[in-house]
Amino acid sequence: MLNEEVKVFGLFGYPLSHSLSPAMQNAALRTAGIPGVYLAFERDRRHFLRLLRNRRKLILDGFNLTVPHKETILPFLDRIDQVAKDVGAVNTVKRAGKHWIGFNTDVDGFLRALQEAGLRLKGKKTLLLGAGGAAKAAAYALVWKGVRELRIFNRTQNRGRQLCRVIQKKFPHSKVMHVRNKSELKQALFETDLLVNATSAGLRHQSQPLIPRSLWPKGKRVFVFDMMYGRRPTELIRTAKRLRHRTLDGETMLLHQGARAFEIWTGRKAPLAVMRKALRHAIMGS
């Protein structure tokens, strides 16, 4: 039985076999001298909703959310911080007495990852793949930081159009466009400076490439950021490297969004170097 003084944190998502957050967060808790544990709870949407209806009984002090729960959680929270409200997605929840407060640390993680990679966003043309919780955070961050243009492509077109409308409404003077088909995708790829994949395509076996090779621009270099991570590069990263584009996977974003979550839960500065080392070790062992 867990001692009352032991802090319990966790991660909800589906699937979760790929997640390296427990290794990173447990290393942070040990280094900070905080008696606690961070656990992974694999729950599909139906079981997660059942759990949320009984959320007052949860013994968790805080938790993270990943695919597909970042939007599902919203109506069950007592308060939501301004960034999460603007983005429309929550990936970090903190218990405050009997209340649950939602935050979005994906925006911070996304921007810090690009900053570490030395990429300046202001004035850039960008193409975003996806329209879920992670894509919402990326779209918000990109326009907030002054990209010249944001194009959004999503296989479910209605969700892509809706995200465009939301971002355009939030930033009326921004240039946000919906990419409707392969022809427009090819044109967007040719014109873009930064390609961001915020879909979970890299988590599963892909019989078809995320972007067919015929659509990649010739004679132009693109910075390719795939939010997925792992010991082996995703199909998108492998293709981009073969075509000599600069690439970045989601490891650094995971590190920084996790560090910010740790600070929200504990009120302590995150031991970033320790978390980075634990994450790298976990990735190499996965």
Q: Are residues 192 and 170 in the same domain?
A: yes
For residue 1, pLDDT over 50 is answered with no
Strand stretches in the chain, DSSP E? 7-13, 36-42, 62-65, 79-80, 92-96, 99-103, 125-129, 149-153, 176-178, 194-197, 223-226, 246-248
Q: Are residues 224 and 116 in the same domain?
A: yes
For residue 205, pLDDT over 60 is answered with no
d(CA 44, CA 247): 31
Confirm whether 1 is domain-assigned.
Answer: no
Q: What is the DSSP secondary structure assignment for residue 217, as one 8-state letter?
A: P
Q: What CATH number should be reported for the domain holding residue 160?
A: 3.40.50.720
Is pLDDT larger for residue 4 or for residue 230?
230
Do the bridges between strand 62-65 and strand 92-96 make them parallel or antiparallel, or are there none, so unpaired?
antiparallel
Q: Are residues 116 and 239 in the same domain?
A: yes
Q: Are residues 238 and 179 in the same domain?
A: yes
Distance between first and last Cα of the chain? 30
Q: Are residues 123 and 91 in the same domain?
A: no
Within 33-105, residue ranges assigned H as helices are 45-53, 82-87
Q: Are residues 82 and 129 in the same domain?
A: no
Residue 133 annotated as lining a ligand binding site: yes
Q: Are residues 32 and 113 in the same domain?
A: no
Q: Which domain holds residue 124?
A: 107-248
Residue 239 annotated as lining a ligand binding site: no
Q: What CATH number should be reported for the domain holding residue 26?
A: 3.40.50.10860
Distances (CA, A) of 164 to 26, 49, 149, 179: 38, 28, 12, 10
Q: What pTM, to 2 d.p., does this model score? A: 0.93
- The pLDDT confidence band at residue 85, using thresholds 50, 70 and 90, is very high
Confirm whether 133 is domain-assigned.
Answer: yes
Q: Are residues 152 and 58 in the same domain?
A: no
- The pLDDT confidence band at residue 3, using thresholds 50, 70 and 90, is low
Q: What pLDDT, on a 0 to 100 scale, did the predictor assign at position 57?
A: 83
Residue 66 annotated as lining a ligand binding site: yes
Q: Are residues 117 and 21 in the same domain?
A: no
List, by residue number, the catalytic residues: 70
Q: Are residues 243 and 199 in the same domain?
A: yes
Q: Are residues 112 and 237 in the same domain?
A: yes
Residue 91 annotated as lining a ligand binding site: yes
Residue 141 annotated as lining a ligand binding site: no
Confirm whether 267 is domain-assigned.
Answer: yes
Exposed / middle / buried, residue 69 (Cβ in 10 Å: 0-12, 13-18, 19+): buried
Confirm whether 97 is domain-assigned.
Answer: yes
Is pLDDT larger for residue 285 or for residue 270?
270
Tell me what the mean pLDDT of segment 116-123 comes to: 97
Residue 131 annotated as lining a ligand binding site: yes
Q: What pLDDT, on a 0 to 100 scale, did the predictor assign at position 54?
A: 87
| Tokens matching residue 274 | 């320790």
Q: What pLDDT, on a 0 to 100 scale, did the predictor assign at position 202?
A: 60
- The pLDDT confidence band at residue 25, using thresholds 50, 70 and 90, is very high
Confirm whether 168 is domain-assigned.
Answer: yes
Phi, psi of 44 (to 5 degrees): -80, 180
Confirm whether 2 is domain-assigned.
Answer: no
Mean pLDDT of the residues in the chain: 94
Residue 230 annotated as lining a ligand binding site: no
d(CA 166, CA 161): 9
For residue 201, pLDDT over 80 is answered with no
Q: What pLDDT, on a 0 to 100 scale, did the predictor assign at position 196?
A: 99
| Tokens matching residue 106 | 């994906």
Q: Are residues 112 and 98 in the same domain?
A: no
Q: What pLDDT, on a 0 to 100 scale, did the predictor assign at position 133?
A: 94
Total structural domains within the chain:
2
Q: Are 283 and 230 in contact (CB under 8 A)?
A: yes
- The pLDDT confidence band at residue 84, using thresholds 50, 70 and 90, is very high
